[in-house]
């Protein structure tokens, strides 16, 4: 039995079954045994691969976009370039490299990396060695100093713990995780009926709610409405809030049982973009998108960038560039193509003019 499994079993034995939110939080962020505390999950030899790890073109497009967003916000001095969940630091490295063509942006920003994992902080520090822009690491968005904020979040919101509610004959009940008689983790239901949840649905339906993501978006939108700035959120998810669940576990590039080995797999849910849009608008922010990642990156000129890179590449490198482009923008099964399931959405100060990438 892994140390985290032992700890979860003890918690359940003491306090009773736990919510999915608590389970995800323990599995991903337990200070000693949490997945992100103990793993470098990215790349072919890891558990999954993210867009910045597929190609530098992704970070370059986001870098150009965020520096344009800064200019469109009247180029405020003392601004902060913030990244939520920077992984290996690859995205930020690509962003800072392309930002050199916009020297006034670089001259007016400091970087904040929001990262809980000491292991990933070390990797980020290595990747970003030699950058002249000042960089600070923070465990929580709330620690970012007051300033106009230019924020990037790629595959961050899917990692925030969600809750499930299941419709029963007697009403909605929260899905819990407890122990079976054999001592294995097993799904169950709370005995308490949720009276907030006033959603009509047939018995057996599931609703997924990410209260943590909605609260964080609210907090970010509040800051942006007061101090100026934008958030660009890129992640997999759906445009409309729907019934159903998307809780999944991935290890070594395959789907695995999310209750099987806590702390050993990446646990996520799809992002409910509509819910996050409502949370941002409720604070007075302007929202553009979501649009499909493929459409967003094409509008920003990723195909032209691929052509330019191909011109100075060897034939083998040209094949890699073309296949990376296809993977980032192409439609179809998400394991091969990110262009459709992944989406981009921007949250900004209400006075910001429309930013590129969001035409449908
Ligand atoms: N953006 C990166 C990595 C995505 S994985 C990329 O595209 O490659 C999720 C990242 O968010 C990891 O860096 C993880 O350690 C971090 N993370 C997860 N939950 C977090 C939390 N609650 N607070 C801060 N960082 C978190």
pLDDT 10s per residue in the chain (360 long)? 889 999 999 999 999 999 999 999 999 999 999 999 998 999 888 999 999 999 999 999 999 999 999 999 999 999 999 999 999 999 999 999 999 999 999 999 999 999 999 999 999 999 999 999 999 999 999 999 999 999 999 999 999 999 999 999 999 999 999 999 999 999 999 999 998 888 899 999 999 999 999 999 999 999 999 999 999 999 999 999 999 999 999 999 999 999 999 999 999 999 999 999 999 999 999 999 999 999 999 999 999 999 999 999 999 999 999 999 999 999 999 889 999 999 999 999 999 999 999 998
| Cβ density class 160-194: b for 16+ within 10 Å, e for less | bbbbbbbbeeeebbbbbbbbeeeeebebebbeeeb
**Threshold 0.85, pTM exceeds:** yes
CA of 301 to the centre of ligand 1 (A): 27
Site to probe by mutation for ligand 1, drawn from 21, 36, 118, 152 as the one with most ligand atoms within 8 Å of Cβ, is: 36
Give me ligand 1 centre to Cα 13, in Å: 30
Ligand 1 pocket: which residues have CB below 6 Å?
Answer: 28-29, 36, 42, 50, 52-53, 85-87, 91, 114-117, 120, 154-156, 159
Which ligand 1 atom sits closest to the C-alpha of 90? 8
Q: How far is the CA of 200 from the centre of ligand 1 (A)?
A: 35
**Whose CA is closest to atom 10 on ligand 1?**
85
Residue given tokens 């892994």 in the structure block: 2
Q: 188 in helix, strand or coil?
A: strand
Nearest CA to ligand 1 atom 2: 87
Q: Do 177 and 7 touch, CB atoms closer than 8 A?
A: no
Contacts of 311 (CB under 8 A, 6+ apart): none
**Residue of the nearest CA to atom 14 in ligand 1?**
85
Q: 235: phi > 0 → left, psi -120 to 50 → alpha, else beta; which?
A: beta
CB–CB of 265/256 below 8 Å?
yes
Tell me how far the alpha carbon of residue 196 lies from the centroid of ligand 1, in angstroms.
31
Structure tokens at 201: 């649905």
Q: Give the H or E element holding residue 112.
A: strand 109-114
As a whole number of angstroms, the distance between CA 321 and CA 166 comes to 45
Residue 88 CA, closest ligand 1 atom number:
8
């Amino acid at each position: 039995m892994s140390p985290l499994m032992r700890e979860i079993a003890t918690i359940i034995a003491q306090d009773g079954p736990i919510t999915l939110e608590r389970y995800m939080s323990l599995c991903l962020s337990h200070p000693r045994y949490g997945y992100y505390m103990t793993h470098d999950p990215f790349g072919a030899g890891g558990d999954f691969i993210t867009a910045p790890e597929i190609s530098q073109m992704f970070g370059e497009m986001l870098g150009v976009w965020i520096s344009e967003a800064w200019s469109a916000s009247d180029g405020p001095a003392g601004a902060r370039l913030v990244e939520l969940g920077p992984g290996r630091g690859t995205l930020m490295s690509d962003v800072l490299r392309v930002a050199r063509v916009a020297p006034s942006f670089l001259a007016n920003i400091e970087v904040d990396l929001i990262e809980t994992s000491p292991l990933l902080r070390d990797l980020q520090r290595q990747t970003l060695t030699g950058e002249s822009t000042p960089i600070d690491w923070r465990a929580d968005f709330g620690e970012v100093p007051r300033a106009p904020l230019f924020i990037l979040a790629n595959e961050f919101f899917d990692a925030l713990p969600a809750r499930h509610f299941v419709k029963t004959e007697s009403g909605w009940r929260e899905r819990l995780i407890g122990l079976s008689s054999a001592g294995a983790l097993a799904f169950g239901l709370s005995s308490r009926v949720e009276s907030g949840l006033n959603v009509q649905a047939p018995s057996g339906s599931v609703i997924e709610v990410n209260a943590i993501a909605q609260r964080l978006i609210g907090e970010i939108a509040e800051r942006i409405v007061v101090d100026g700035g934008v958030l660009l959120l890129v992640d997999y998810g759906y445009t409309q809030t729907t019934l159903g669940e998307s809780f999944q576990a991935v290890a070594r590039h395959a789907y695995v049982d999310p209750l099987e080995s806590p702390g050993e797999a990446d646990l996520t849910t799809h992002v409910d973009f509509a819910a996050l849009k409502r949370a941002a608008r409720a604070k007075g922010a302007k929202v553009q998108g979501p649009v499909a990642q493929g459409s967003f990156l094409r509008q920003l000129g990723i195909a032209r960038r691929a052509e330019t890179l191909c011109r100075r590449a060897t034939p083998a490198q040209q094949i890699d560039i073309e296949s990376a482009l296809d993977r980032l923008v192409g439609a179809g099964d998400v394991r091969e193509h990110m262009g459709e399931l992944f989406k981009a959405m921007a949250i900004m100060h209400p006075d910001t003019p429309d930013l590129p990438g969001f035409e449908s």
